[in-house]
Amino acid sequence: MAQKQTILVTGGTGYIGSHTTVELIEKGYNVVIIDNLSNSDKTVLDGIKKIIGTKPDFYQIDMCEPDAVKKIFEKHKDIKAVIHFAASKAVGESVEKPLKYYENNLISLIYLLKAMSECSINQLVFSSSCTVYGQPEELPVTENAPIQTANSPYGNTKQIAEEIIKDIIVSKAELNAVLLRYFNPIGAHPTAHIGELPNGVPNNLIPFITQTAAGIRKELKIFGDDYETPDGTAIRDYINVVDLAKAHVIAIERLLTSKNDRPLEIFNLGTGKGNSVLEMVKTFERATGISFPYTIVDRREGDIEQVWADTTYANEVLGWKAEIPLEETLISAWTWEKKIRNL
């Protein structure tokens, strides 16, 4: 059997990182995880083991320490590529603590890129976001849509990170990168061994819905029903986290087999379909048979009205398509919530 290739997954105990680790190992890769556990828990490794039978190598490391990543590359000389998830991601917190976000999300990237260059590791998949599009003028939004001024420090770190990676590639360094712009990742692994573990009161819609359905929150507040959308509530493109994870494996395969046409490729990862907040509530209730209270409140500051992905490029070039139906995704989120609450 061919030698297994090793991938460094930063932020690998986090929500998307853990699901991607499972998919990578299932496809025959070795995974080395680094994570500072600032927003995740070591028990995620047990969940991964329950699914695939092995625990990946894990190091609790803060990537803002200058030589931390380099030491990992020196220890694991077989690392061939990096998937970089590690970052702080709470939009609201980033408005209150911008420096934390610029430091944590950008210094870590710079040290990672330096270490990659010094150790001749040239393949990178980077976790970006549809926030770079702001409110697009045309929908569905393609990868060529203009980048808008970010409306939070978090969003700005994703834009700046993309620019840093682009500049390195323009400088004719050896780097090859795939930037993946996620829409709204939701759901949990079908085994319910891993899922989303939000810290404190969730900001995102689905964890708030599942916690309300579980009786932990009194009611869901729907932020605004006066948008220019069919039912007045905001529209997003909600993608199953396992579908999303699979796209990372394809991106890695592409980089490691030199199938990438250019040193920098950018893909939207969404379903290509938009759903309103009310549609999400109704679909959750229909899929799970659980109803919960909700009220309409004012719009949330910084929210855009509607966005969904044009996924043609990812479909054609990566041969990837989101496949899991929304109902199934919402059931997976609910099954996970029940499991972690012992319901």
Q: Which residues are catalytic?
A: 154
The distance of closest approach from Cβ of residue 143 to ligand UDP in the complex, given in angstroms and rounded to an integer, is 18
Structure-token pair, residue 140: 């569905």
The distance of closest approach from Cβ of residue 91 to ligand UDP in the complex, given in angstroms and rounded to an integer, is 7
Per CB under 6 A, the list member of 86, 90, 124, 222 interacting with ligand UDP is 222
Interacting positions 261-300 with ligand UDP (CB under 6 A): 277, 300
Question: How far apart, in whole angstroms, are the C-alpha atoms of residue 341 and residue 54?
Answer: 25
Interface region with ligand UDP, contact rule CB under 6 A, candidates 3-11, 99-107, 199-207, 313-321: 199-207
For position 97 contacting ligand UDP by CB under 6 A, the verdict is no
Q: Cβ closer to ligand UDP: 73 or 183?
A: 183
Q: Cβ closer to ligand UDP: 298 or 316?
A: 298
For position 90 contacting ligand UDP by CB under 6 A, the verdict is no
Which residues face 240 on adjacent strands?
186
DSSP 133-157: G-S-SSSSBPTTSPPPPPSSHHHHH
The distance of closest approach from Cβ of residue 53 to ligand UDP in the complex, given in angstroms and rounded to an integer, is 33
Q: Cβ closer to ligand UDP: 47 or 134?
A: 134
For position 87 contacting ligand UDP by CB under 6 A, the verdict is no
For position 204 contacting ligand UDP by CB under 6 A, the verdict is yes
For position 205 contacting ligand UDP by CB under 6 A, the verdict is yes
Structure-token pair, residue 335: 């099954």
Q: Which residues of 256-281 are buried (b: 16+ CB within 10 A; e: fewer)?
A: beeebeebbbbbbbbbbbbbbbbbbb
Helical (H) or strand (E) element with 244: helix 241-256
Per CB under 6 A, the list member of 64, 148, 151, 223 interacting with ligand UDP is 223
* Site size with ligand UDP, rule: CB under 6 A: 14
For position 203 contacting ligand UDP by CB under 6 A, the verdict is yes
Question: How far apart, in whole angstroms, are the C-alpha atoms of residue 94 and residue 156?
Answer: 10
Q: What is the distance of C-alpha 90 from the center of its chain? A: 12
Interacting positions 174-193 with ligand UDP (CB under 6 A): 184
For position 159 contacting ligand UDP by CB under 6 A, the verdict is no
Q: Name the DSSP class of 53.
A: S
Question: How far apart, in whole angstroms, are the C-alpha atoms of residue 195 and residue 28?
Answer: 22
Residues 6+ apart with CB under 8 A from 262: none
Closest among 179, 244, 195, 251 to 18, alpha carbons compared: 195
CA angle 11, 335, 319 (to 5 degrees): 55
Contact between 91 and 302 under an 8 Å Cβ cutoff? The reply is yes
The residue with its CB nearest to ligand UDP is 234
292 to 215, 221, 237, 254, 336: CA distances (angstroms): 8, 11, 22, 44, 17
Interface region with ligand UDP, contact rule CB under 6 A, candidates 15-23, 82-90, 201-209, 323-331: 201-209
The distance of closest approach from Cβ of residue 216 to ligand UDP in the complex, given in angstroms and rounded to an integer, is 13
The distance of closest approach from Cβ of residue 221 to ligand UDP in the complex, given in angstroms and rounded to an integer, is 5
For position 236 contacting ligand UDP by CB under 6 A, the verdict is yes
Per CB under 6 A, the list member of 55, 70, 76, 221 interacting with ligand UDP is 221
For position 151 contacting ligand UDP by CB under 6 A, the verdict is no
Interface region with ligand UDP, contact rule CB under 6 A, candidates 154-162, 171-179, 219-227, 263-271: 219-227
Contact between 275 and 230 under an 8 Å Cβ cutoff? The reply is no
Binding site for ligand UDP (CB under 6 A): 184, 203-205, 208, 220-223, 234, 236, 277, 300, 303
